[in-house]
Structure formats: structure tokens, C-alpha cells
């Protein structure tokens, strides 16, 4: 695996150094009082993947409603218990969001995934496209030692086709069901339930697309994160959520927050007008996801023949 960042501008290299420092700081803080087997938990590798690793990132300004690539990072830890995002990584995530949105000490959003070494090697052994692409194109910005990842074992064309179709056939109807429940809840004036179901429809669409295209999706309900990964795979997905105004940006944030707040916060508010706007966006997302996935399945069918 590569370990150089010389293709990146100096400013981005410095940003990645700060990101790695933040990840280590918060991991130490989260594990300093650990006992038993968890006491020896370590970060084994931190890998930059996606567009910033490949060299095809885009830095168009968000204010112009144009695409901006995130930093995509895979953190590999020694123990599966350490992949619990809420228990060990929430503070690191908060710090990186604050550094980008408020402090402006980094100028590119950061998304990171956590997996154990066993999970990554298992994904490679089972031919999951996501892990194979990370192994092929990723850049190790930190390694505890020189140990290599497992050798990828790609699926046969027929196996890849069967897996992709299974995911597509599972997730698309599930997303449609959540969207229909949201419409019914609006009709019943149960607006918070409608917001939650629109979130679920969005989450399932992005997860279904990631699984159909890469045979992988992270264990994460954050639709902003899933959206970033999905948009990095196919630019047809970009532009579904307008960002030209503060109101448009805040609408997606309100949908993102619905996963928790629509169910548990008495202060969460959303109007029928807002739900109508979000519903139209989710419908458009479903149309584009269906097309992108259908194209991928057609490509796999051709390969299988």
C-alpha cells in the first residue's frame, strides 16, 4: 500500500496531519481507562481512500451549489469492540465537524469509518468491492507496523451479479415502504413520524446503492456520511439536495436530525410544507438510485455472460 501524499497540495497534507492527530487524541481519551483485553487496543492503520487518494478530488465551493469532495478515511483497530462509534469515536467526530464548520481549521469535511483488522481482511477475502478498492487505491497515512492486508479474492462475475441483485431487491422496496409510510403519516398529521420515515427511506436508498455498487455499507445512520460515499461513486447523485441557500442546506440537516430527534425530542419541529419539499427530494433520490443501480446490474450481467 502506498504511504506518500505528495500528489496532494501542502495545505491538504497539513490538514491530514491534524486529522490524524485528532483521531489519536480522542482514541487515547476514550481508551485511557479501559480494562481487560480492551486495555491493549490499538490503532493499526489509518488509510485515506476515495477521491483524495486517487487524485481526482473536486474542491468547487459549496456556496455555488457545486460538488466538493470529502476526506474519506478508514481507521483499522486491533479489536472489534473498538469499532463502537458511540462509545469510542463520537468525540473525534464532533471535533472534526467543529474544526470544519466552526473553527475553520480544516477546509474539507472529514468522513471516517472504523473497522477491525479482521473485518477488513474478511471483506477482502469475500471479494467486497469497497475493501478491494481501498486496498488498491488507498494511502496509509499511519501504520503501526509494516503488516499488509489480506490478498483480495474477487467474486466471480456471476457471484458479483447475484450479490448486487440481492441487495437491490432488498433495499429498494424497503425504501419505497418507508416513503409510503411518510406520506400516510403526513395525511394523519403525524409530522414527526413522517420525518423519521423520510430519513429511513433516504438511509435505505443510500445503503442499497452502496451495497449494490460495492457490496458494502458502513454501520452508520448518518445520511450525510452515506450521501458523501454515494456521491463519490456516481456524480448523477449530486445535485439532488440543493445547497444554494441556507434554507436548502438546513432542510437536509433537519432530515438528518430526524433519525433521533423526531422520535425522542419534544423540541423537534417540522412543517407539512417542509415535509413536502423533502419528500420530493427523496423521490428524486429514489429515481436516480434506481437508475444507477440498474446500470450497474446491467454491467454485471454483461460481465457474467
In a domain, 15, yes or no: yes
In a domain, 243, yes or no: yes
Range of the domain at 45: 10-143
What is the reported pLDDT for 38? 64
Q: Choose the final residue of a domain: 143, 165, 192.
A: 143
280 Cβ contact list (under 8 Å, min separation 6): none
Do 130 and 39 belong to one domain?
A: yes
Q: What is the mean pLDDT of the chain?
A: 93
In a domain, 225, yes or no: yes
Residue carrying the nine cell digits 481501498: 134
In a domain, 206, yes or no: yes
The strand pair at 43-49 and 139-143 is best described as: antiparallel
In a domain, 249, yes or no: yes
Buried/exposed 116-140: b ≥16 CB within 10 Å, e otherwise: bbeebbebbeebbbbbbbbbebbbb
The strands making up 43-49's β-sheet, listed across from edge to edge, are: 110-116, 71-77, 43-49, 139-143
* DSSP assigned state of 7: T
pTM summary value: 0.89
Tens-place pLDDT, residues 167-193: 999 999 999 999 999 999 999 999 999
Residue carrying the nine cell digits 427523496: 282
Give the C-alpha separation, 253 to 180, whole Å. 21
* Rg, the chain, Cα only: 20
The answer to whether 229 and 210 have CB atoms below 8 angstroms apart is yes
Q: Into how many domains does the chain fold?
A: 2
Give the C-alpha separation, 92 to 73, whole Å. 13
Tens-place pLDDT, residues 7-27: 999 999 999 999 999 999 999
What is the reported pLDDT for 61? 59
222 pLDDT higher than 70: yes
Q: Choose the final residue of a domain: 143, 175, 195.
A: 143
Give the C-alpha separation, 126 to 123, whole Å. 5
Backbone angles phi, psi at 141, to 5 degrees: -90, -10
Q: Choose the final residue of a domain: 116, 143, 170.
A: 143
Give the C-alpha separation, 104 to 61, whole Å. 14
Do 194 and 133 belong to one domain?
A: no
What is the reported pLDDT for 9? 96
Q: Work out the angle at residue 230's Cα, subtended by the Cα atoms of residues 284 and 168, and round it to the nearest 5 degrees.
A: 70
268 SS3 class: coil
Q: Assign residue 198 the CATH number of its domain.
A: 1.20.120.330
In a domain, 204, yes or no: yes
Q: Assign residue 61 the CATH number of its domain.
A: 3.30.460
Tens-place pLDDT, residues 105-153: 999 999 999 999 999 999 999 999 999 999 999 999 999 987 889 999 9
Amino acid at each position: 500500500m502506498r504511504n506518500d501524499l505528495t500528489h496532494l497540495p501542502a495545505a491538504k497534507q497539513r490538514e491530514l496531519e491534524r486529522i490524524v492527530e485528532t483521531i489519536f487524541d480522542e482514541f487515547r481519551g476514550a481508551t485511557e481507562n479501559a480494562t481487560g483485553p480492551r486495555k491493549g487496543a490499538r490503532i493499526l492503520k489509518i488509510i485515506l481512500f476515495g477521491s483524495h487518494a486517487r487524485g481526482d478530488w473536486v474542491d468547487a465551493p459549496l456556496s455555488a451549489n457545486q460538488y466538493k469532495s470529502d476526506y474519506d478515511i478508514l481507521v483499522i483497530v486491533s479489536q472489534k469492540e473498538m469499532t463502537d462509534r458511540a462509545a469510542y469515536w463520537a468525540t473525534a467526530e464532533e471535533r472534526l465537524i467543529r474544526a470544519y464548520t466552526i473553527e475553520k481549521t480544516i477546509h474539507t469535511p472529514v468522513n471516517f469509518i472504523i473497522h477491525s483488522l479482521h473485518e477488513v481482511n474478511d471483506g477482502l477475502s469475500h471479494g467486497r468491492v469497497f475493501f478491494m478498492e481501498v486496498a488498491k487505491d488507498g494511502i496509509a497515512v499511519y501504520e503501526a507496523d509494516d503488516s499488509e492486508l489480506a490478498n483480495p479474492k474477487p467474486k466471480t462475475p456471476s457471484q458479483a451479479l447475484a450479490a448486487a441483485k440481492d441487495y437491490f431487491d432488498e433495499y429498494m422496496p424497503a425504501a419505497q415502504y418507508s416513503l409510503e409510510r411518510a406520506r400516510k403519516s403526513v395525511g394523519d398529521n403525524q409530522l414527526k413520524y413522517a420525518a423519521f420515515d423520510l430519513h429511513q427511506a433516504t438511509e435505505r436508498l443510500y445503503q442499497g446503492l452502496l451495497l449494490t455498487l460495492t457490496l458494502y455499507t458502513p454501520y452508520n445512520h448518518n445520511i450525510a456520511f452515506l450521501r458523501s460515499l454515494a456521491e463519490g461513486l456516481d456524480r448523477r447523485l449530486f445535485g439532488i439536495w440543493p445547497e444554494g441557500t441556507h434554507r436548502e442546506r438546513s432542510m437536509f440537516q433537519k432530515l438528518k436530525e430526524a433519525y433521533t430527534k423526531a422520535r425522542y425530542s419534544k423540541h423537534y419541529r417540522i412543517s407539512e410544507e417542509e415535509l413536502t419539499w423533502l419528500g420530493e427530494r427523496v423521490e428524486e433520490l429514489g429515481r436516480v438510485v434506481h437508475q444507477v443501480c440498474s446500470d450497474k446490474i446491467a454491467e454485471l450481467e454483461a460481465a457474467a455472460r
